[in-house]
Structure 1
Amino acid sequence: MSGKQAPGWAVYGRYGLVLLVTAAAVQSSAVAEGGHYLTVRTLAPVLCGAALVTPRLPWFVAPVLTTAATAVWGWLTLPLLLVALFDLAARRRVAVAVGCCGIVLAANLVAPDTVSLWRPQQYGASLFLLLAVMGGLWMGNRRRLVQALSNQVEHLRIERELREQAARAAERSRIAAEMHDVLAHRLSLIALHTGVLSTRASTLPAPVAERITLLRTASTEALADLRDVLGALHERGPTTGDAAPAPVLRDLHELVEQAREAGQRVELQVSGEAEQAPAAHRLALYRLVQEGLTNARKHSAGAPVRIRVDYGAPATVVEIINTAGETAEHTAPSGFGLVGLTERVHALGGHLHAGPHGAGSWRLAARIPRSAPPAQNGSRP
């Protein structure tokens, strides 16, 4: 298909209606002509019906033909005129529809009594014409309302997708900025210690002194390259540029104590030592616990929160469970924190789950697999 939607049941229904009223008009015209079908009176309904179902004709062709036919032959072609008036009103051409009604009613004042719209009921045809115009107005307004709602839903869907993409991009930038801080700290230590050793190069063997100098140069250049490539990812304020530092390798216990001081009931269970996990895992755990405590405070105020963290191999695991509680007042609209966390965990090769857990509880859990440690010297096959 070429981007256009296939005709729906409403279109087929309209074609069927026009075909039906055209056949009825042809039959009535043939009866009025004494059973003869090949006459001008029987040809007129066919032309009017064809104009009503041909989409590429100018919009005024069908109203002009049906108005002229009804002005001459009265109620024989009235159903076709009603369809044309319905279409005009649905397209907000009410003035044209009213003008067609006036022309038809005026012309039928001098029409023969056998086909005049003023017989046998004087105002019966006027009522049908009015109903056709009112029905067209209602249908047109309904179509426009449905189209507006559909466009609004589509705009909201696109806006949500853009926000999710922005949240993922922001999380990637935050990960890079945090890893920049961690790697810069460790490279600085390497450069510092090699610098100290290089001052005593005269007391060391020549090959060792050369390696130390090479290591110091490489670490210094790597630190400079890292700052050039990733340093721009830090968020800066609009004027002062003194944004708060990223939470680099901060302790989870400190975060939990801050939540307890704010009134939350938090139970923390930690297995293993934090130093056993890679720096990227520890950063992800901090953000996961931070997001879990924030969501519990917003959506389950006063409910206890249970946090379980496992730093041991073969995977770093975190689980935050909170029971049902009251939604905090003046809660800000929900953002896309989980979208960013999902992006972070997936980037580390892990999996994240967030959803209901039991009766009214909510569970946020992530499992980040640990890569195998490098082989030690002397253990190579």
Structure 2
Amino acid sequence: MSWRESPRWAAIGRWGLVGALTVVSVQSGAVAAGGRYVAPCPAAAVLCGVALLARRPPWPVAPLLTTAATAWWGWPTMGLLLVALFDLAARSRARVALVCLVTVLGVNFLTAPEYSLWRPQQYGSSPFLLLAMVGGLWMGNRRRLVEALNTQVEHLSVERELREEAVRAAERSRIAAEMHDVLAHRLSLIALHTGVLATRSDAVPAQVGERLALLRTASTEALADLRDVLGVLRAPDSASAPVLREVDELVDQARAAGQRVEVRLDGRPEEAPAAHRLAVHRLIQEALTNARKHAGGAPVALRIDYRAPATTVEVTNSPGVRSPDAVASGFGLIGLRERVTALGGDLRTGPGASGAWRLTARIPHPTGSERNGNRT
């Protein structure tokens, strides 16, 4: 909103205009009264000005006063009548404004006061009165249009915030579901191996056998609790196998689709936690998809480092041809940032110094105490 459209400046401008018109009307009324300021016409001009500037009077007060004063005296108070007609038209009361206009012209025509609106030219005042109404109609329509546009912008802003929140919630659910798969797989292995060792009572001491049985019971109970808490996040038709796909599959699919992809891999995926590998898979998937949509034909360079102290991903692509079917929503990056942040990492996206688009992510590896579940 510009300074001209701010309510404060609009109020100041109205006070200045009505004040100036009131002074002119008082002066003209005094001239019509033979130079006397203490007369009915100047007093009527002051009352009309006060009614136009008052904050919360009944809306018919100002139109009635200005109509009556102009109908009785004519030109001295016509300026204030113009303001009243403008206000009525701007507030969608054009019919009332038209009635006031016809009343003023009709009374002036019948009574023929000294300063009648029909003098010195027969229709001299009519264009001014009609222009005031037309201006009020235009201003009212413009104000209503601006309010409707502001409301629409607010609705779109709220809708976008809700969509972003839905994307974040969906990404959290996906992370929880994936971690449910991974942890369930690991706990199942622990329960299986401890169960096998516990059955060989002749090969292990009795105390060790008791510890193994306790460990097997604890892992089984933890697996059941995990399934109860996180299993509800899984979609009914989703697979139950752990989702630990490697990046090679995504690269092969991208190359099959015609993308030129160069990969630099440091370390082995097994050196990073399972949650990091899942995040890397999603980062590469989203980066390749965005490059295919927004930079078609441009080469893509991938650099992945699984080694401690942090898993890092860097994807760079030069400018290319934007796909005509591409829709820039930005919600994919929002979900990725939610995932990386949940792992304690940092995600950055944007154009680089050479104009190429760059996505970088750094996810620190957990410390030894965190690996053992002894977070402080």
Correspondence 1:72-221 to 2 at 5 A: 72-112=72-112, 114-221=114-221
Match of 1:23 in 2: 23
Q: Secondary structure at the match of 1:285?
A: helix
Match of 1:350 in 2: 345
Contact 1:351 1:368 (C-alpha < 8 Å) held by counterparts: yes
Q: Distance between the aligned counterparts of 1:245 and 1:184, measured in 2?
A: 10
CA deviation vs aligned residue, 1:198-255 (integer Å, no higher than 9, x gap): 211244211111100100000000000000000011123xxxxx23668722111111
Task: For 2:192 and 2:342, locate their aligned partners in 1 and report how far apart those are by CA, in whole Å.
Answer: 31
User: Residues 1-381 of structure 1 correspond to what in structure 2 (within 5 A)?
Assistant: 7-112=7-112, 114-236=114-236, 242-243=237-238, 248-374=243-369
Q: Deviations over 1:292-312 (max 9, x none)?
A: 000001111111100000111
Residues 1:310 and 1:101: Cα distance change in structure 2 (over 3 Å):
same
Structure 1 residues 268 and 22: alpha-carbon distance in aligned structure 2, compared to 1, 3 A threshold: same
Compared CA separation, residues 375 and 109, structure 1 to 2 (3 A): closer
State the Cα distance separating 1:107 from its structure 2 match: 0.5
Shift of 1:29: 0.7
The answer on whether the counterparts of 2:184 and 2:223 sit within 8 Å (CA) in structure 1 is yes
Greater CA deviation, 7-16 or 304-313?
7-16
- 3-state SS of paired residue (1:334): coil
Hey, what's the Cα distance between the residues in 2 that align with 1:268 and 1:376? 29
Per-residue CA shift, 1:159-186, capped at 9, x if unaligned? 1111111111111111111111000000
Q: Distance in 1 between matches of 2:200 and 2:245?
A: 36
Number of matched pairs: 368
TM-score norm. by structure 1 comes to: 0.93
Q: Would the aligned equivalents of 2:312 and 2:363 in 1 still touch at CA under 8 Å?
A: yes
Counterpart contact for 1:322–1:363, Cα < 8 Å? yes
Instruction: Please tell me whether the aligned partners of residues 267 and 306 of structure 2 are also in contact (alpha carbons under 8 angstroms).
Output: yes
Q: Give me the identity figure in percent.
A: 65
Supply the AA of the counterpart residue of 1:11.
A
C-alpha contact 1:178 1:246 (8 A) present in aligned 2: no
Report the counterpart of residue 239 of structure 1 in structure 2: none
| Partner SS state of residue 131, structure 1 | helix
Aligned residue identity for 1:266: V
**Contact between 2:73 and 2:113, CA under 8 Å: does it hold in 1?**
no
Whole-Å separation in 2 of the counterparts to 1:358 and 1:342: 22
Shift of 1:34: 2.1
